[in-house]
Chains A and B, each alone.
Chain A
Amino acid sequence: MSRGWPLWEVFVRSRRGLSHTHVGSLHAPDAEMALRNARDVYTRRQEGVSLWVVPSAEIVASDPGEREAFFDPADDKVYRHPTFYDVPEGVEHL
């Protein structure tokens, strides 16, 4: 039966103000059930205030074989890091 149920990726927002974070995947027959299943599988211990489910087949991923071309050129560009700014005290999520 599992073979007939598509895979869904689950994203949980743990509290207001934070982004949804990928937490894992699950099987479900359709979107409505996927959302319910996500509630049961991933938010049993008060982990979230909001849920997203996305069909895994709809995710477009970068190719691991092209990793170097994709990511290495950023290696020597330290000026892109915001390390030259002072972070104000008390700001948790900048």
Chain B
Amino acid sequence: MILLIGATSIGLILALLALGVYLSFRIFNFPDITADGSITLGAAVTATLLAHHWAPAVATLAGFAAGMVAGTITGLLHTKFKINELLSGILVMTALYSVNLHIMGKSNVPLLNESTLASQAEQVASYLFRGPADLNVLGWPVSIRDFAVLSGVLALVVLVGLLLYLFFQTNLGTAMRATGDNPQMIRALGVSVDYILILGLALSNGLIALAGSLLAQYQGFADVQMGIGMVVWGLASVIIGESLVGGRRIGLLIVGAVMGSILFRQLVAIALRWGLNPNDLKLITAGFVFVALVAPALLRKFKSAPAKPAAA
């Protein structure tokens, strides 16, 4: 149970990563590798500010803003300097590694004794429930910290998901979706495709950095290596989510990305519990994304291929 709660909390936090990846990969069809760097950037900025005793909410917002700056730079590299999409992301991601080290001043910033959003949530919860260290949820003892963090993260992700959904219904958000769908058309309707792409990448990386910021506060440290492979994890969540909800409607896909992220983390937790070597995790994730990307096309081919006459 504790395992599942932990996995769900991480899954919810990384749902923000999944939403960011959904925005760049699916809305714009832009394979944005910046994510690996921007999730660490969010963690680094927030952790450093927390270590300097800033208010957790402000430190978290600063992490979000830093991610937006990173996304803007990737967007500028691609649109203004005509650098290939993947390469723009790789350049910014690589540069961010040094930037993150500079921000943190060392490769790892612990937050165990700092006030974070997690510790604040715990305080609120213990005030509300007045005392007991453990809560009884459906017969399981759950520590008040886990419970507080889980509900706090859930509330935040629901809020972000809802805001994102509402954003996509506004004039600007509709134009953003159309930019990914048919850039020629939206240009003919007077929208600067470059501007919208930069804005979208800023938003995407802001969300991803927010995930990093929350992850650092949840696990109690920021580490310069923590972003490696995150794009693929986010993509895995998005793909799982798409197969969970099926439809193409934007609201469903947002819910799907969140659900996909949670399910993915739970699967990972269970697999690790069963004795999967943690070192193999990224290999298996990459393999999974490969299969998920290739399988639909293969299945179609398989179905449409004329049935071969049975061998005599």
Pairing of A with B? no
